[in-house]
Amino acid sequence: MRSMQILLLLATFLSLPGSASASPSGSHGERVGLSVTTFMGSVIGSEQLAEPYRFAHILATGKIGLYLVDGATRRLLDWPVSNVAWRKPERYDGAKTMASIIALWGARADGGIFEGGLFRAITPNVPPEDYHSFADSESNAEFKWFAAGWHPHIAMLNLSFNDHARLFGGSYHNPSSEFTDRDVSDTAVALSDTRRTTGAGIVLPYISNAPQGHVSATSDTDAHGNPGLGSRVQSNFATDPFYARSRHIACLAGGFGLDTPANIFSTDRYFGTNHSEMFRRLIASELRWANKNHLVTVVFMTIFDVRQGHGGNSPDIDFMRGVRMEVDYLKQSHALPTYWAVGQYSNGPADTNKPDTDTTPNSISSVADWVARHAPTSVSRPPDLTCCR
């Protein structure tokens, strides 16, 4: 049985876009000469992904694939009329735009990445009462893309369980770094369901979302008694009991994704000096743990305006600077991911960074082009089946 498991894991690994099994590694475990290192996507402005003239430099690299969030699959087909960020082009044809995007990007990185959430059509065997679903996933628009010929190689799964495990606020359980045993069981089912319903060869959950992660095993608590961003003890993902279930889920999936808005990660404006560095160290510890256990990781560097305080729903004029600083920090920390992703998943209503062109300053495509050319990645290998013990 163990030998069969290893063979299955090896087959999965060898099917990865840009598999590193036969490639030499550089310093810090960097991948050398591999085809796909980076993925790019956007919700607002996603219709621009159908226009090849915007991406002459990107297409020449051969290193960038499509990252398509379910919000984009929905809105490209069903254009919203009440959102100021979505300026509908004249004679817009959603089906034609979808076909053009598939024609341009579908063969790159074996289809690229699809990001979706828990819902009956995607995760039919997970009890609906156990999670909070989102309108984008509920639309089932992604299945129209699959039917039209787009078949993503990787699916990123948002876990939004609505149990009562150490909520940080809000009406549902998110971010998904505070799991219960029931969450772990549901995630195992969700991973299997998503692989079947999306056709993706790899399904990776997001296990620690953006700023609201647990930073210290003995941290201060907030006004509601929830773990806060305490300053006494630095948390290490590999050893902190708080993340035991997260580690287990990562091993079940063979990897995970991290959502790190670049200027939350790279600056101290959001958390303050002490807590920001603790957050950076926590993310780095997650990636080092994953690399030690040969897991596949995706770091999604998204826009986030910290200068004007408008967050993810306005232009990030420091996007390139934040991304370069994040890449450099993780490189110096020996904590590189298997893949980088660059983009934004905001539905507005405010205007914000778009793909634009790969020569437009701080555009999503220009930042992705820089990442593909300059950001090193780790060497992924088949899991050795020891990390879950």
Question: Could you give the number of structural domains in the chain?
Answer: 1
Task: For residue 230, give its domain range.
Answer: 31-374
Q: Which residue has the higher pLDDT, 78 or 100?
A: 100
Instruction: Please give the mean pLDDT across all residues of the chain.
Output: 81
Taking only the tens place, the pLDDT of each residue in 184-207 is 999 999 999 999 999 999 999 998
What pLDDT does 373 receive?
96
What pLDDT does 316 receive?
94
305 φ/ψ sector (left φ>0, alpha ψ -120 to 50, else beta): beta
Residue 106 inside a domain? The answer is yes
Q: Which residue has the higher pLDDT, 234 or 280?
A: 280
What pLDDT does 33 receive?
35
Q: Which helix (H) or strand (E) covers residue 82, if one does?
A: none
- 336 contacts: CB under 8 Å, gap ≥ 6: 28, 29, 30, 287, 291, 330, 376, 377, 378
The helix/strand count (H/E) of the chain reads as 12, 8
How many Å apart are CA 166 and CA 149, to the nearest integer? 41
Using the predicted structure, report yes or no on whether residue 381 has a pLDDT greater than 60. no
Average pLDDT of span 41-54: 96
Q: Is 8 exposed, middle or buried (0-12, 13-18, 19+ CB in 10 A)?
A: exposed
Residue 3 inside a domain? The answer is no
Residue 188 inside a domain? The answer is yes
CATH number at residue 83: 3.20.20
Residue 170 inside a domain? The answer is yes
Using the predicted structure, report yes or no on whether residue 135 has a pLDDT greater than 80. yes
Residue 140 inside a domain? The answer is yes
CA distances from 377 to 14, 42, 179, 338 (A): 17, 22, 28, 5
What pLDDT does 270 receive?
82
Using the predicted structure, report yes or no on whether residue 6 has a pLDDT greater than 80. no
Residue 381 inside a domain? The answer is no
What pLDDT does 214 receive?
45
Residue 362 inside a domain? The answer is yes
What pLDDT does 23 receive?
33
Residue 9 inside a domain? The answer is no
* Least confident window among 17-21, 112-116, 149-153: 17-21
- 273 contacts: CB under 8 Å, gap ≥ 6: none
Taking only the tens place, the pLDDT of each residue in 110-134 is 999 999 999 999 999 999 999 989 8
Using the predicted structure, report yes or no on whether residue 289 has a pLDDT greater than 60. yes
Average pLDDT of span 132-157: 95
Using the predicted structure, report yes or no on whether residue 232 has a pLDDT greater than 70. no
How many Å apart are CA 204 and CA 207, to the nearest integer? 9
